[in-house]
Structure 1
Amino acid sequence: MKLLFLACLSPPTGNRTTAQRISGYIQSIGHVCILRDIAEFKSSSQVSDLITEEKFEAVLMIHLYKGGRLLLDSSVPYGVIFGGTDINEDIKDEKKREVMGAVLQKSRFLVAFTDQMKKIAELHWPFASSKIHVQPQVPRYGQKPPNAITLQFQGVVTKPCAKFSWGEFLQNSGVHCKNIDPYIFLLVCGLRQVKDPLFLVDAFSAWHKKEPRVHLIIIGPEVEAAFTQQVEAKVKSAFGVYLVSEKPQEELHAAMRDSFAVVNSSISEGMSSTILEEFVELSKRLISDTYFKESIVAKAKEYVEKHHSWNTERETYWKLTANLL
């Protein structure tokens, strides 16, 4: 089968990583899977023409609205992977929700990353309940946990080839940290409003004044220009907080390994906000309580191995792809 895979493929996005991984699963069983960036297309007719010209037999896409609206003129079978924006943002817009409903009607299957995503979708489109499959994502960065703790376990690091030292970074930035082990809390995200990278800045700045060993590093590409300027201005006036531009993947992974903890922040993802409400209190405990730290690392590894299995994800997409034949 020749399959077209539509997704947001710009380098800073998690969608790109997810699409590449799933495309690999599909091709491993003999199908042809061509990735194309949603941003290339202005209308559904352009996608319909591409499908006809290239003789695609089916379509898979990430994002019910961004991708799905491009298939309204197409008659080929397709499956949809819900994006977080679908459930957290686009579902609030009546016009977008109407388009999403029309896409759902024609889809062969849908994939939600969590049970909560499925429940929200079912509230709005109960007719689609039987089509929605829950398949958690596998760790974005590998299968084994890094040396760093992950307060919200989004992914892990395995590739040991690149090296990075936050101690050297701080010294090069004019921070005196010789003979002092710094505690680096790393927030990796594209600089956009929904990721809310400024959530921690004030609290962390106040903590750094009392404990100079702790530092917050925000690292990631500019996504929204105006918001990036806001972040730059805020960080400039804060203490112990630094903004670092995006880095190549292997260097980023090494930076994560060299961190004490990796944190996540998001306006639309409630889990992050809940954890961060007591961030400083929990972080102080991580520094002072070795057993607490080791326990989190062990439990995170156990949770990922149990609920985010590469083998399970691969088999799920093999079975779902068969529904497009």
Structure 2
Amino acid sequence: MRLLFLAVLRRHTGNAVTAERVRDHLEAAGHVCILKDASDLENSSEIAKLIEAESLEAALALHLYRGGRLLRGHGIPFGIIFGGTDLNEDVNHGEKKEVMGKVLEEARFAVAFTESMKEMAQTQWVDPVFTREVGARVKRAAGVRLIREMPQGDLHAALKNCFAVVNSSVSEGMSAAILEAMDLEVPVLARNIPGNAAVVKHEVTGLLFSDPQEFVQLAKRLVSDPALEREIVANGREYVRARHSWQAERCTYQNLIRTLEGSIQD
């Protein structure tokens, strides 16, 4: 495959060294990798001419803004390698952050060198299109606030001060938020989907709703019925401690790993 690789190639910099190393990896696999300095290619037309002249089939960019923005809209698949400046500096500039989000929408993959870089990227971008839609709707909704991610301890403290936790997901495997709320003795209202219904028994460990109207009805009922609230809280706490115990989970995984050890010995 013939690849275009964009990076900022100032001599003796970390970016230049990384780009050369990655190119060596790709060429060792039999690909043709044309490495270009992104600083020398400042507009889309230059990239288009290069793609056509070199018969390039795909592309890679080191640095989401400096390199990635030049690859948008050319009709060839591309991937991105995060650079430190992307996540430490450029995300603080509104226009650059918006451009980087659009790059990620088109990219086929993104590479982060460390777990902390991956977590920072996920915090800034999980799903850019959906994030923008949610943000726009929240701005139009009276009495609704959008709060960014927070450390688990802070989140739990906030949950304890809430009247209830609502899970409105349309798809769930097993909602950790629901289990955390039950363990913290906070009532749960959850959309009636299979993943939620597997852990929330209606009117026993929580309340399940199927549409906005039913949600409003159940929320009003919960507010006006302290006995129901107390029963749901008690049952939810007992369910979590009986069925999702941290100690039991630890033992289960340890036992499962022992079966793998036995297979190796056999």
Q: TM-score, normalised by structure 1?
A: 0.38
The structure whose Rg is larger is 2
Q: Comparing both structures, which one devotes a greater share of its residues to helix? A: 2
Larger relative contact order (CA 8 Å, sep ≥ 6): 1
